[in-house]
């Protein structure tokens, strides 16, 4: 169904794909460790930083993987 090796190669080959997901992972580990005690800061990090990073990396990865199936007009809009 899906070739996961191609997904891994795509994800690792573009820095604008792995940088947001690695930042989300680092911030998630910081939150999980319990070092931040203020609930407002936890919400800010979780909703304001982690979710947009994950959304950006997953949408961009999906666009890269599906780029060969998109029409030429939509491919022209992609930044790669």
Tell whether the model's pLDDT for residue 37 goes beyond 80. Answer: yes
Give the Cβ contact number of residue 37 at 10 Å: 7
Enter the pTM of the model. Answer: 0.60
Rounded to whole angstroms, how far apart are CA atoms 47 and 70? 31
Residue 79, helix vs strand vs coil: coil
Angle between helices 4-13 and 51-65 (to 10 degrees): 120
**pLDDT interval class at 44 (50, 70, 90):** confident
- Higher-confidence residue of 76 and 29: namely 29
**pLDDT interval class at 12 (50, 70, 90):** low
23: CB partners within 8 A, 6+ apart = 49, 53
- Higher-confidence residue of 67 and 41: namely 41
Looking at residue 10, its pLDDT comes to 62
Give the Cβ contact number of residue 69 at 10 Å: 8
């Amino acid at each position: 169904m899906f070739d996961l090796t191609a997904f891994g190669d795509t994800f690792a080959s573009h820095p604008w794909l792995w940088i947001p997901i690695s930042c989300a992972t680092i911030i998630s580990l910081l939150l999980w460790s319990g070092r931040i005690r203020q609930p407002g800061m936890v919400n800010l990090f979780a909703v304001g930083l982690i979710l947009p990073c994950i959304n950006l990396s997953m949408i961009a990865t999906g666009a890269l993987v599906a780029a060969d199936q998109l029409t030429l007009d939509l491919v022209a809009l992609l930044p790669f």
